[in-house]
Structure 1
């Protein structure tokens, strides 16, 4: 009879010799995705690691050490950050990121006093799923453009990530992005496409370069609403986590505390030059595999992330990764994001014979993927922000009786 794997509970503290390798495992799980976001958006990878680590420690503190969650860079904000950075600069984009954290904090306060029913009405699956599809497909052009600089290198990185994701089991199956980046980097280096000069010149110890935000209401309108989508993602991750650890985390310490932790971490990141944060499914996967749920292990990974952010050669190595490598990885990653939105629609049972659902999704997809823009005075709302506003508005104003009428018509046709 097989021996049952031991469960390490949420607040259990392991000996240092056991805890350190488990913490490193969580670091590897989040690393590839966390550094990919600053690489694509032009932010500093060292700051992303620093804010990821500090943000996770703050999250653990604000949730009273009861939720084992790691916070890494959020992919939902990539497109809006790139768009705002091109038109108004990185500082303006960071202001939008800062305000997205404030949105989290405000929603956490409302949830604490009013519960979540209003949130379910504001952001039903038909809206969230459609917007998540827009997040992935809206970035497709970025991925293809990066990969097209050297399709051979991009294809190798993509193939490695696909093989790891499809066929690897255990911990290796949780880090396909990291394996794809490493494999693509090695292949590019063999072909002489990696410039190591910056790594040689970099100091071992280097203070990360902070970037301060500057006020921009256009950036606020474009970036801050994305938080409404990642809030839905946050709730989903918390539900999965509580199923894994066998505790009702939505009630104790409460969704509002979890949301507050994520919001404070995101606001802090925007304040110093890092991307917005989100709870990471990769690390939830590691917990499910290892059955180690200790917040001390998660906290150890956060400490490692902070320490790595001060290693200058490490940061230089990240920036030396050829663009086609990241392009190949992004093809898979952005496609997975879009597919996750489609999966959300399917699993929620969204019926597209209903006119209401069809209208909402159609408008969101065309506005978001098509890159529509509208100007209101000096403010410009475009892409995913415009699609989000339109989806929420349509969901609130379209009569729910449309679906009922469609159902009645379908029944008449059947009979």
Structure 2
């Protein structure tokens, strides 16, 4: 069996760089897709991903190997906040989500994690994850050109058949790659599908000449488009609750990393430090104009395949991401990602997000014969997908909580106030117990 490379172990630079690029390739497809979907700059996402990873390494005392990338959980609230309040105001919501991480890290440091498990049981987390995925389904279908009534200004020059051909090809490669690619290629099927779709879009004339000219004329060095946040309470209340969903995901990633590496990272450096690192990375992203960050399961997969757990390899990957964010042609290629390419890959990715919620139900053996579980899941999913919103006044300003945020809050409140067993179930249990007792007496 191949020798594993330990967390603190340093490799020669010539060995480190290709291993670091592998981590970069594993996360780059998803990381750049989040800003593309939400209308942000992919280069700023790369920059925040690299800096966020280095901040995470510092917070965890370089004792927990994890790569930080853009979070899919925040896509829907980011789009709503940006549309309703503006991009700068949306950034204050990202900062608020990061602050939730920091506060939870402090609480865990002093009081442990039992309270968080009680507030967010698997039935609540799974239902919210389903909302995140299904809530974006319509967006993916529109981008893929499968909604024939949908028209986008960037695609008016493209025949519908070419639009659909590129999206279906992108989706097909993503599916085939996920199923059949092995080794290194098995880690980056999404990136391969996006590159293939991009090439097909070029061949079929889907990419306009103006975009091609912009790519060819891009300067070699270009600053990422930094943006300062503006305080907006509505955006903060919209996005902050979503942090509890990604917290559950983050904790799951730490436990998986424990199993892969063979260490208990919840003890050293401690779960609170890991959560703190994630929160600091997200706050930094909000301060400079990037998307919220989270730990990446894709990179855990890379470690499991390669048995290279070195935090130095991951740190160099972060540095490479920062360097790439300043290279103009790279940013230009990403920024002109064709709509059908995004649509094809989004059908798969958004579906996978929703399916991850069902996976939580299965793995944690959620019993839907129990009325509490049935009610929690039903209410969360309908409120989250149905477009429910709550508006109120705060210090004279209009505040709105909607979508995933509202579903998360409702789910957590219902979980606390509803009894574990309904009155009907108590009666049924009592009746079964009486029958058993009568049979015992008869014997």
Q: Bin the TM-score by the shorter chain.
A: over 0.9
2:76 corresponding residue in structure 1? 79
Distance 1:406 1:237 in 2: 40
Residue-by-residue CA offset, 1:175-214 (whole Å, 9 max, x unaligned):
1110110010011111122231111121000111101111
1:209 corresponding residue in structure 2? 225
How much has 1:389 moved relative to structure 2? 0.7
Residue from 267, 270, 274 that aligns with 2:286: 270
SS in 1 for 2:365: coil
Q: Please say if 1:386 is aligned against 2:406.
A: yes
Distance 1:59 1:89 in 2: 29
Q: CA, structure 1 residues 414+278, in 2 after alignment: closer, same or farther (shift >3 Å)?
A: farther
Residue from 134, 158, 167 that aligns with 1:154: 167
* Aligned-residue CA RMSD (Å): 1.6
Distance 2:240 2:10 in 1: 38
Q: Please say if 1:165 is aligned against 2:162.
A: no
2:352 corresponding residue in structure 1? 336
2:271 corresponding residue in structure 1? 255
How much has 1:169 moved relative to structure 2? 1.5
1:350 corresponding residue in structure 2? 366
SS in 2 for 1:353: coil
Q: Please say if 1:177 is aligned against 2:190.
A: yes
Residue from 325, 337, 343 that aligns with 1:327: 343
Checking the alignment, whether the CA contact within 8 Å between 2:41 and 2:335 is kept in structure 1 is: no
2:47 corresponding residue in structure 1? 50
Pairs aligned (count) = 412
Checking the alignment, whether the CA contact within 8 Å between 1:59 and 1:265 is kept in structure 2 is: yes
Distance 2:136 2:365 in 1: 26
Q: CA, structure 1 residues 18+413, in 2 after alignment: closer, same or farther (shift >3 Å)?
A: farther
Checking the alignment, whether the CA contact within 8 Å between 1:138 and 1:368 is kept in structure 2 is: yes
Q: CA, structure 1 residues 221+406, in 2 after alignment: closer, same or farther (shift >3 Å)?
A: farther
SS in 1 for 2:184: helix
Distance 2:281 2:226 in 1: 16
1:24 corresponding residue in structure 2? 21
Question: Which moved further from structure 2: 380-389 or 189-198?
Answer: 189-198
Normalising by structure 2, we get a TM-score of 0.91
SS in 1 for 2:419: coil
Distance 2:366 2:410 in 1: 19
Q: Please say if 1:313 is aligned against 2:333.
A: no
Distance 1:163 1:407 in 2: 49
If you compute each CA radius of gyration, which structure gives the higher value, 1 or 2?
2
1:243 corresponding residue in structure 2? 259
2:420 corresponding residue in structure 1? 400
Q: Deviating runs (4+, > 3 A) in structure 1?
A: 409-415
SS in 2 for 1:174: coil
1:284 corresponding residue in structure 2? 300
2:117 corresponding residue in structure 1? 120
SS in 2 for 1:381: strand
Residue from 226, 237, 247 that aligns with 1:231: 247
SS in 2 for 1:192: coil
How much has 1:411 moved relative to structure 2? 5.3
Residue from 114, 125, 130 that aligns with 2:127: 130
Checking the alignment, whether the CA contact within 8 Å between 1:64 and 1:253 is kept in structure 2 is: yes
Q: CA, structure 1 residues 411+80, in 2 after alignment: closer, same or farther (shift >3 Å)?
A: farther
Distance 1:298 1:313 in 2: 24
1:189-204 equivalences under 5 Å are: 189-194=202-207, 195-204=211-220
Q: CA, structure 1 residues 186+110, in 2 after alignment: closer, same or farther (shift >3 Å)?
A: same
Checking the alignment, whether the CA contact within 8 Å between 2:122 and 2:361 is kept in structure 1 is: yes
How much has 1:412 moved relative to structure 2? 7.8
1:187 corresponding residue in structure 2? 200
Normalising by structure 1, we get a TM-score of 0.97
